[in-house]
Amino acid sequence: MVRWKPGTAERLQKAALELFATRGYEQTTAAEIAQAVGLTERTFFRHFSDKREVLFQGQELLVQAFLDGIDAAPPEASPLEVVAAALGSAASFFPDERRPHSRTRQSVIDRNPALQEREQHKLTTLATTVADALRARGVDELAAKLAAESGATVFGIAFTRWLREERSLADIAADVLAELLTLAETAAQALRPTR
């Protein structure tokens, strides 16, 4: 007989998402989430530093997918090529089967500004981590930051589209990145013409 089942955090996350989706985020207290899995409020806060975090913990795996993609890129790849590789790797983290769950989660986030803030913060953290990994490859600071932030932007836009469309995230992300490159080329021609 085990007194404490494993996977407490996961059960709390599942219960939280269900409650948030039905009752709403603000209308759900941390104590209610804890109760739903037979725990106390105090235990909830042992697992999650704050109430919002229950929806975001677990994203370290996504970050790791980005880093794996970076490691897999050939050494001579340019910064944005490395980012393209990272995007491909990250996309595999969201197979199409995961779409329904992601949709539910996102609908909760979209309805609450506090959760949107946290989501953006996580995206920025991701960009910072990617930038560090690029710098470790020898990319200079400015290029690393720009490439990493651009990667985060592309990922964010592609992810939003993936929730609505039925195509794979990898395909969508590749298209979004391609569009960014096209925009830049067009602007580069205009801003510094014929050299």
| Residues at the interface with DNA (CB under 7 A) | 1-4, 8, 28-31, 34, 38-43, 45-47, 49-52
Of these partners, its own copies, DNA, none, which one is at the site of residue 184 (CB under 5 to 8 Å by kind)? its own copies
**Cα–Cα dist 38/35, whole Å:** 5
Closest CB to its own copies among residues 39, 88? 88
Of these partners, its own copies, DNA, none, which one is at the site of residue 34 (CB under 5 to 8 Å by kind)? DNA
What is the smallest separation between the CB atom of 129 and DNA, expressed in angstroms?
Answer: 22
**Cα–Cα dist 103/182, whole Å:** 30
Judged on CB neighbours under 10 Å (0-12, 13-18, 19+), 70 is buried
What is the smallest separation between the CB atom of 16 and DNA, expressed in angstroms?
Answer: 10
Closest CB to DNA among residues 39, 80? 39
What is the smallest separation between the CB atom of 85 and its own copies, expressed in angstroms?
Answer: 11
Residue whose tokens read 């580069």? 188
Closest CB to DNA among residues 10, 81? 10
Of these partners, DNA, its own copies, none, which one is at the site of residue 179 (CB under 5 to 8 Å by kind)? its own copies
**Cα–Cα dist 195/105, whole Å:** 49
**Cα–Cα dist 28/21, whole Å:** 10
What is the smallest separation between the CB atom of 50 and DNA, expressed in angstroms?
Answer: 3
* Contacting residues for 89 by C-beta, under 8 A, at least 6 apart: 65, 66, 68, 69, 70, 72
Of these partners, its own copies, DNA, none, which one is at the site of residue 144 (CB under 5 to 8 Å by kind)? none
**Cα–Cα dist 167/176, whole Å:** 13
Residue type, 182: T
Q: How many residues does the chain have?
A: 195
Of these partners, DNA, its own copies, none, which one is at the site of residue 147 (CB under 5 to 8 Å by kind)? its own copies
What is the smallest separation between the CB atom of 40 and DNA, expressed in angstroms?
Answer: 4
